[in-house]
Structure 1
Amino acid sequence: MTLPLIPPMLATPGSLPPAGQDSRWAYETKQDGQRVVAYLEGDGSILLRARSGEDITAAYPELRALGEALGATPAVLDGEVLALDEQGRADFQLLQPRMGLAHAPARAARQAAKAPVHLIVFDVMHLGSQSLTALPYARRRAQLERLGLHGPFWSTPAALVGHGEQALQATREHGLEGLVCKRLDSVYEPGVRSRAWIKIRNMRSEDVVVGGWLPGKGRLSGLPGAVLVGQRAAGRLRYVGSVGTGWSEAERSQLAALLRAAATEVCPFDPVPSVVGARWVVPRLVGEVRYSTRTRAGLLRQPSWLRLRPDLAPEDAAADIPDDRV
């Protein structure tokens, strides 16, 4: 490869910029996919590298045609590979089977024919013979939009300058993962987690019933390392995942006492989840958890504990989980 190797710039978790600085920022939808850097040599070829630097080109054969999109002009592009659901929204659960196929091109080709991915392009770091990393975001973005990268399996969604509050609200209303705020004057910092890019993840919260726990290890020995939680659906307590973060030491110790008092040999979840080393409890403790989204199987992604809800009965922790999702 003759193009320079450029690790992707990373965003820092945070909140919206102050209202008085709103016009100095651009806002892009945060997508739930796999970050990639695409290298187009200008000879029709394409090389895709994951954030780790691994060559994952073979996992996404439907993106090969992007190598011809700019003709003889070499380029390095930053973007995100998505798998879209029936509503056209990114679904990480759909993407996961594709992510492991970088060394299985035959399987990748079959999957591409059944459920093709889509590449969102949001930055350009090199174009022709010129590095663009020292240019401000606004100029790089203008260069990118002039390339007209819109094809059957890739696109360049618009970025909104200003109106951050409205942009964030729109992502929440449409059930999207969140927002990335990018300072208009920011240069591209390869491999750096920068405050010039801020990511805001839309988190949801729901009530759950504790039905079990997993013993902690190391400094958490004798305490719960995670609790196993469920929600009522169709008359049964459905397992929706394990929660291992969000407590202070005092809160974890308090929870340990409550779990010991509720111990039982009977699993309260229906169906019984395959969790090695699980300790079951009578499902009477209700808690509130925060999470990013649900998997297609109904499990909570990235859950963290918020608080106990002694004011709620287990029947109050209900969710709409169709039978075919567990």
Structure 2
Amino acid sequence: MSLPLIPPMLATPGTLPPTAQDARWAYETKQDGQRAVIYLEGDGSLLVRARSGEDITAAYPELRPLGGALGTTPAVLDGEILALDEEGRADFQLLQSRMGLAHAPARAARMAAQTPVHLVLFDVLHLAGSSLLKVPYSRRRGQLEGLGLRGPFWSTPSALVGHGAQALAATREHGLEGLVCKRLDSVYEPGVRSRAWIKIRNMRSEDVIVGGWLPGKGRLTGLPGAVLVGQYAARRLRYVGGVGTGWSEAERAHLAELLRASETDTCPFDPAPRVPGAHWVLPRLVGEVRYSVRTRSGMLRQPSWLRLRPDLTPQDASADLPEDI
């Protein structure tokens, strides 16, 4: 390949820029997908590399026509591969059925027909033989949008300059993952987690019931490494996931005492989840967790522990879950 390999620039978790600096930033929707750098050689070929550098081109055959979208102009593009649900929102669970198929092209082709992906492009790093890494974001954005890259399986959504608070509120209103704030004068820093890009993830919180735990390892030996939690639905305690982060050492030690006092040989979840090595407890402890989204089957994605809720009874932790969870 004649084009330079460029690892993607990464955003730093944070909050909205100060109001006085709002006009110096652009705002893009944070997508829940697989980050990818796209290489167009200008000869009709396409190379797609994951954030790790792995060649994942064969996993997404529907993207191949993008190789000829710029004719003979070579380019390196930055973007995110998404699988969209029926409402047009990114669904990471859907995407998981497409990931990992780079070495199974026949299966990838079948899956492409069932669950096609969509590539969202948001930066151009190299164009027509020239590096754009030192060019400010605002100019790179202008050049990217000027390429007119819109097709059946790819698009170039516009970025909003200023109005960050409104943009963030809109992502929350529409149930989107969050917002990425990009400083207009920022250069592209390959492989760097930069403060020039800030990501804000919309998180939700709910009450859950602790029904089990998994032993910790290493420095957590003897303590819970994760708790297994559920919520009541149709009078059954339904398993909604494991939570392994969010405690201080003191909080984890206190939780260990509470769990040991509630041990039982019977799994409280209905149906019982397949969790090797699980220790079950009586479903009496209620806690509050933060998470990003629910999967279609009702599982909590990226959950972290917030606090115990001794003021609540287990019946207070209920949810409207799919019947087939």
CA–CA distance in structure 2, aligned partners of residues 262 and 129 of structure 1? 66
Partner in structure 1 of residue 3 of structure 2? 3
CA–CA distance in structure 1, aligned partners of residues 46 and 259 of structure 2? 54
Shift of 1:220: 1.3
CA–CA distance in structure 2, aligned partners of residues 57 and 318 of structure 1? 43
Stretches of structure 2 that go unaligned for 5 or more consecutive residues are none
CA–CA distance in structure 2, aligned partners of residues 137 and 216 of structure 1? 44
CA–CA distance in structure 1, aligned partners of residues 290 and 27 of structure 2? 24
Partner in structure 2 of residue 291 of structure 1? 291
**What TM-score does the superposition give when structure 1 sets the normalisation length?**
0.99
Query: Does residue 78 of the first structure (1) align with residue 112 of the second (2)?
Result: no
Query: Does residue 69 of the first structure (1) align with residue 62 of the second (2)?
Result: no
Moved over 2 A (4+): none
Residue-by-residue CA offset, 1:73-102 (whole Å, 9 max, x unaligned): 110000000000000000000001211100
Whether contact under 8 Å (2:297, 2:322) holds in the other structure is no
Partner in structure 2 of residue 251 of structure 1? 251
Q: What letter is aligned with 1:244?
A: G
Give the secondary structure class of the aligned counterpart of 2:285: strand
Partner in structure 1 of residue 178 of structure 2? 178
Q: How does 1:191-202 map to 2 (within 5 A)?
A: 191-202=191-202
CA–CA distance in structure 2, aligned partners of residues 107 and 218 of structure 1? 39
Whether contact under 8 Å (2:237, 2:269) holds in the other structure is yes
CA–CA distance in structure 1, aligned partners of residues 232 and 14 of structure 2? 34
Q: What letter is aligned with 1:28?
A: E
Q: How does 1:111-190 map to 2 (within 5 A)?
A: 111-190=111-190
Residue-by-residue CA offset, 1:11-46 (whole Å, 9 max, x unaligned): 011110000000000000000000000000111110
Shift of 1:235: 1.1
Give the secondary structure class of the aligned counterpart of 1:22: helix
Shift of 1:219: 1.4
**What TM-score does the superposition give when structure 2 sets the normalisation length?**
0.99
CA–CA distance in structure 2, aligned partners of residues 114 and 97 of structure 1? 10
CA–CA distance in structure 1, aligned partners of residues 322 and 61 of structure 2? 34
Residue-by-residue CA offset, 1:186-242 (whole Å, 9 max, x unaligned): 001111111000000111100000001111112111111111100011110000011
Residue-by-residue CA offset, 1:146-203 (whole Å, 9 max, x unaligned): 0011100000001000000000010001110000000000001111111000000111
How many residue pairs match? The answer is 325
Whether contact under 8 Å (2:231, 2:319) holds in the other structure is yes
Partner in structure 2 of residue 281 of structure 1? 281
CA–CA distance in structure 1, aligned partners of residues 319 and 261 of structure 2? 27
Give the secondary structure class of the aligned counterpart of 2:206: strand
CA–CA distance in structure 2, aligned partners of residues 258 and 115 of structure 1? 45
Percent sequence identity over matched residues? Answer: 82
Stretches of structure 1 that go unaligned for 5 or more consecutive residues are none
Partner in structure 2 of residue 207 of structure 1? 207
CA–CA distance in structure 2, aligned partners of residues 216 and 191 of structure 1? 32
CA–CA distance in structure 2, aligned partners of residues 140 and 302 of structure 1? 32
CA–CA distance in structure 2, aligned partners of residues 267 and 115 of structure 1? 35
Q: What letter is aligned with 2:270?
A: D
Partner in structure 1 of residue 19 of structure 2? 19
Residue-by-residue CA offset, 1:42-83 (whole Å, 9 max, x unaligned): 111100000011110000000000011111111000000000
CA–CA distance in structure 1, aligned partners of residues 5 and 95 of structure 2? 25
Q: How does 1:82-97 map to 2 (within 5 A)?
A: 82-97=82-97
Whether contact under 8 Å (2:292, 2:300) holds in the other structure is yes
CA–CA distance in structure 1, aligned partners of residues 124 and 38 of structure 2? 9
CA–CA distance in structure 2, aligned partners of residues 77 and 225 of structure 1? 40
- Further displaced range: 272-281 or 213-222: 213-222
Shift of 1:296: 2.1
